[in-house]
Amino acid sequence: MASTSHISTTLGLHTVAASRPLRDGLVALGGLGLIGGLYLDGWAHVHLPTLESFFTPWHAVLYSGFLLLAASLVTPVLRGRLHGVAWSNAAPTGYSLGLLGVALFALGGLLDLGWHTLFGIEADAEALLSPPHLLLATGAGLMLSTPIRAAWAHDDAPQGWRTWLPPLLSLALVLALLAFFTSYTHPFSRAAAAAGERPVTHNETHGSVDLAMSAILLQTGVLSGALLLFVRRWGWRWPLGSLTLLFALTLSPLTVMFDRFLGVPSLPLIVAALLAGVSADVLLRLLRPSAIHLWAARSFAALAPATLYTFYLAAIVFNGGVWWTPHLVFGAVVLAAITGWLVSYLVFAPASHLAPGRERRPQ
């Protein structure tokens, strides 16, 4: 007969497993608090350039979000211990790296305070590249991606919004984090094509176009890669509106944070992001991309970013116009499509053409 302690441990683990969507959902909500605080702090640095203190209301919101997220990650471990689970097994599946992220973020916060004391408050891209801030970003990324790892590790595919929302929010928050720390080369942080942003000199023109096209390349690669990983793991049966939510949470905060330097009003670009999300939702259902239907996966990878930047440039055209030539406008959309198409070959490798019986076994 099983011992009482074994029965209680089994029941405890069953209870924790049964509440997995709720547990992962709490982590995702904690992540919303962290990312909200991060963008609020970024907004303060953009709009209050004389900010010269570590102790600000915006930092308080940021670190309060961290404490909320950390609590949502640590609580399941403590609950497991209460049910008699050993420390080595107390962390739920996918949570170990999140707990490491808690430690890294806390260390980064302490180092950040010392860094500000020694070198002052960073400005512009400096704030995104200082070592303590990059350590904070690494810790945040490990914490925010926890619901993705937890869902990925289970054989059952998410069904409906209840089980889809935690990993979907997690993906959106990770992408929002990446967008924040690459905002110096992101199309939604500065509308370089806007008529009011037209450079004066020949060299400035080249620099502006080069940076804008590089931004489209980079951000298309990040977005397409993330979407295709989810498609590879779970197929195309996402809840209706998933990509609309994803695009809104990923792109809208940047336009609000950089509204002073954007070149166009924030609202049209937010609408463009929403329309692109709706279009991506439609494409997902029409094409039904998967590892089996590679042509659909590659088409989705090309059309989703192309649609995004079509709406993006249209928003600029109808809100002050563009200074770019038609070659640049249409070329940017085609470039996004080509980039997404190429990324699909990294996520979905072509089928092997080796002779039968000579297939390589995975190492």
pLDDT of residue 310: 97
Instruction: Give the per-residue pLDDT at 355.
Output: 47
Asked if residue 195 and residue 108 are part of one domain, the reply reads no
Please indicate, yes or no, whether residues 130 and 69 belong to a single structural domain of this protein.
yes
The last residue of one of the domains, among 125, 160, 195, is 160
What pLDDT, on a 0 to 100 scale, did the predictor assign at position 22? 85
Q: Where in the sequence is the domain holding 260, given as residue range(s)?
A: 182-350
Burial class (CB in 10 A: 0-12, 13-18, 19+), 304: buried
Q: What is the mean pLDDT of the chain?
A: 84
Amino acid at the residue 316: I
Measured distance CA(248)–CA(243) in Å, rounded:
8
Provide the 3-class DSSP secondary structure of residue 204.
helix
Residues 100 and 142 in one domain: yes
- Does the residue 176 lie in any domain? no
356 within domain boundaries:
no
Q: Alpha-carbon distance 69 to 102, whole Å? A: 9
Q: Return the closest-CA partner of residue 318 out of 278, 268, 274, 275.
A: 268
In a domain, 363, yes or no: no
Lowest mean pLDDT among 5-9, 50-54, 279-283: 5-9
- Whether the CB-CB separation of 313 and 178 falls below 8 Å is answered with no
Sign of CA dihedral 333, 339, 342, 343: negative
Q: Which residue has the higher pLDDT, 6 or 81?
A: 81
pLDDT digits (tens, 9 = 90+) for 155-195: 777 777 888 899 999 999 999 999 999 998 999 998 888 88
Same domain, 111 and 210: no
**Which pLDDT does position 361 carry in this prediction?**
41
Kindly state whether residues 133 and 262 are assigned to the same domain: no
Q: Is residue 355 part of a domain?
A: no
Q: What is the pLDDT of residues 220-252, one digit of tens each?
A: 999 999 999 999 998 888 898 999 999 999 999
Q: Does the residue 106 lie in any domain? A: yes
Domain count, the chain: 2
Tell the residue number behind the tokens 């929403």, with chain if given. 274
| pLDDT tens by residue, 290-333 | 888 899 999 999 999 999 999 999 999 999 898 899 999 999 99
Residue 285 within a domain: yes
For CA atoms 88, 92, 93, 98, the dihedral sign is negative
Whether residues 145 and 283 share a domain: the answer is no
138 and 19 in a common domain: yes
Q: Is the pLDDT of residue 11 over 90?
A: no
Residues 6+ apart with CB under 8 A from 18: none
Residues 107 and 32 in one domain: yes
Does 208 lie in the same domain as 152? Answer: no
Higher pLDDT, 345 or 162: 345
Q: How many CB atoms lie within 10 A of CB 320?
A: 16
What's the predicted TM-score (pTM) here? 0.85
17 and 115 share a domain? yes
Is residue 222 located within the same domain as residue 340?
yes
Q: Are residues 47 and 149 in the same domain?
A: yes
